[in-house]
Chains A and B, each alone.
Chain A
Amino acid sequence: MTDHDAITRLWSDDELDEVLRGLHAETPDGTTALATARAKLLAAATGNPVRVTWDGAAPSAASGLSAGRAPVGAPVRGRRRWMRIGLAAGIAAVLVIIGLLVPSFVTEHDKPVNSAQAIGALNRAAVAALGATDEPVGPGQYRYIETHAWWTTFSGYDIFQDENLIRIWVPAAPDDPAQDWMLDRHPTGNRVWIKGSEDQAREDGTFIDALDTGVTLQTEAPCGNFYSPGPCPRAGSWQDPTPSFLAELPRDPALLYDRLQADAPDNGRGPAELLVYAADALRTGLVPADLRAALYQALTRLDGIDLTDRAANLDGRVGTAIGIDDGRFRQDIIIDPATGTFIGEREVLTDDVDGAPEGTTMSYTAVDTAVVDGIGTIPGK
């Protein structure tokens, strides 16, 4: 999943680390438990059979040891079972432990080619965007940005997606500390089950009611500082594309590509991460037409960029999907090549992951913008 709301300034890495350190940090004194465990281990090591309690329906020691075939995450419905660890189990375990130990590696693919269709679609969209002008926001008017976002939650072995509706009103002078932005967001209650069902989840005792489905918030703040006070104006980033950040980005596609490459982290996802960064900015609905054009053209330079779907449907709006696969996830942006409009972005599994099959759309956001006459006004209503 990519960042859910690029308007928001993110928790920093340091802050995340700090909270991670604090979570469940107090652990009980393990002296007694460790002494018991040590005694059991040494008794077993000297050849004295030991009776060990296994939770769940473990058919043998082996099933708990295999990285590849262990029923990890599988429901535990069986009775408590006693088993004897001895030579026989040891031999059985050996066979599967090998699976755990053998390191896997990724086959070196040939350098991916940039698909001609993808480049063509991006170039057409760029030309269209260059010819387009964003509807101007006059004094007293607001740019209205409506985002429908679907995000995936794992709950044990059940997987579902919830829809969040996010509406933002941006004043004519977005950087003016005297002009409020407005945010109105909430989960819509629409939920799709990727794996399992609500009845199944309740029966299995997973905690679907406790899991996070989204923020409900209605608030106004200058510069879109909805979640915490901050400077106004502020510098911005690809995830938080403020007017000053957007104004400063180069309009030359080659320079913009260099900038994207410099800003996106080297995190093992390769060029897919560059597309993620571009999508971060685009899905805010704040990127002006001339910059959209440059960005589409910059993306033609990404190794492995491909036209992944000619008729990608996001919330009923159909466009061309352009994506890059990192081997596990494919990041797509959905555009209309005829108009240069950015429709949305999505993340699609290209491998089976934790029970979700290949091809599953793990998250998507569909974005639409309009100009309205008042804060809180919804077009067509």
Chain B
Amino acid sequence: MHRDMNAVGGFGQDRGMRAVVQPGGDAAEPHPDLRAGDPEAVFAGLFDAHAPGLHRYLSRRVGAIADDLVAETFLAALAGRDGYDQAQADPRAWLYGIATNLLRRHFRQELRRLTATAKASARDTPGSDPGDVVPDRVDAQVRIGRLALGIAGLAPDDRDVLLLTAWAGLDGTEVAQALGIPVGTVRSRLHRVRRQLRSHESTRSGPSISSVEDTGSGND
């Protein structure tokens, strides 16, 4: 099954190809040891510290599925705690990395939300034709709709970098740890994606936002 899914999907392979063992590690500052001590106490602390923020982040991305995803993320973290290396990653970055991978299964739901937002913003802007630019009336509503479409059209990796930064509030190092990519790549990718989105506002719009609800929903 795994192979089938990769054959069809194939996303994220570049990350795997770039994962290289760093000799000696880079123990910048100590993080809690999730492997030692009473797992109940350790993970209760981890949950209380990070679950509310993670839930908000996931809600913004995929809506109500966030309820399940938060639970799945922490259960997966618990199950995989022996693989957590306190010298290598901040626990928050580690959790968001797990959540990011779980999120990928719900990309349809995410695209549906983003396109629905764009559709609603076009509907709520009187006189706006979704096929046209409205030069003098680019209000917040229209902008949100356009941004939603811009984000929907991003490469999935780019979307993760952008939203982990803008919505989850992770810094470059944390995003790098969460996604398993170099910090420099995070910076350059973030720059590119912001540039792309900024140009979306002024030069690309005009979604023919039709039948968002009518299209297939898959299993997400």
| Chain A interfacial positions (CB closer than 8 Å to B) | 1-5, 8-13, 15-17, 19-25, 27-28, 30, 33-34, 36-38, 40-42, 44-46, 50, 52-59, 61, 63-80, 85-86, 89-91, 93-106, 151, 153-157, 187, 202-207, 209-217, 219, 226-229, 265, 267-269, 273, 326-329, 351-356
| Contact B140 A95, beta carbon cutoff 8 Å | no
Instruction: Please determine whether B88 and A41 come into contact, CB atoms closer than 8 angstroms.
Output: no
> From residue B119, how far is it (CB to closest CB) to chain A in Å?
7
Q: Chain B contacts of A93 at CB under 8 A?
A: 76, 79-80, 83
A70 to B204, CA, bound (A): 33
Q: Total A-B residue pairs with C-beta atoms closer than 8 Å?
A: 436
Find out whether the CB atom of A228 lies under 8 angstroms from the CB atom of B204: no
Residue pair B211, A209 in contact (C-beta under 8 Å): yes
Contact of A55 among B18, B84, B220 (CB under 8 A): B220
Partner of B115 from the list A16, A78, A211 (CB cut-off 8 Å) is A211
Q: Which residue of B lies closest to A266 (CB)?
A: B187
Kindly state the separation between the CA atoms of A362 and B101 in the bound complex, as whole angstroms: 25
Interfacial chain B residues near A15, Cβ < 8 Å: 143, 198, 201
Which chain A positions have C-beta within 8 A of B176?
103
Extra pairs beyond A98-B83, A101-B85 (10, CB < 8 Å): A19-B144, A40-B75, A44-B79, A97-B80, A105-B22, A106-B182, A215-B203, A215-B206, A265-B191, A268-B186
Q: Which residues of B contact A (CB under 8 A)?
A: 1-2, 5-6, 8-22, 26, 39-40, 42-44, 47-48, 51-52, 55-56, 59-61, 64-68, 70-72, 74-76, 78-85, 88-89, 94, 97-98, 100-102, 104-108, 111-113, 115, 117-119, 131-133, 135-136, 138, 140, 143-144, 146-158, 166-167, 176-177, 179-182, 184-189, 191-192, 194-212, 215-220
In whole angstroms, what is the CA distance A104 to B177 when docked?
Answer: 9
15 contacts between A and B (CB under 8 A): A4-B199, A16-B197, A66-B101, A67-B19, A67-B180, A76-B105, A85-B78, A90-B78, A90-B79, A101-B89, A155-B153, A157-B11, A328-B185, A352-B14, A354-B156
Q: Which 4 A-B pairs have the closest CB atoms?
A: A68-B16, A74-B9, A205-B216, A97-B83
Do A354 and B11 have beta carbons less than 8 Å apart? yes
Residue of B nearest to A357 (CB): B10
Contacts of B6 in A (CB 8 A): 69, 71, 74
**Which among A41, A95, A227, A355 is the interface contact of B43 at CB below 8 angstroms?**
A41
Is the beta-carbon distance between B105 and A8 smaller than 8 angstroms? no
Contact check, B39 vs A45: say whether CB atoms are below 8 A apart: yes
Contact B202 A5, beta carbon cutoff 8 Å: yes
Contacts of A204 in B (CB 8 A): 216, 218
A42 CA / B133 CA spacing, docked (Å): 52
A30 with B52: CB separation less than 8 A: yes
Q: Is the CB of A353 within 8 A of B209?
A: no
Report how far A348 CA is from B120 CA in the complex, Å. 35
Question: B216 — nearest CB in chain A belongs to which residue?
Answer: A205
Contact A27 B56, CB 8 Å, known A69-B16, A353-B157: yes
Known: A326-B188, A353-B157. Contact between A210 and B202, CB under 8 A? no
| Contact B156–A226 (Cβ < 8 Å) | no
Residues of B within 8 Å of A205, CB to CB, are 108, 215-218
- The interface residues of chain B lying within 8 Å CB-to-CB of A326 are 188
Given the known inter-chain contacts A54-B72, A214-B206, please indicate yes or no for A63 contacting B200, CB distance below 8 A: no
Residues of A within 8 A of B167 (CB): 20
Q: Please indicate which of the listed interface residues B20, B83, B117 has the most CB atoms of chain A within 10 Å of its own CB.
A: B83
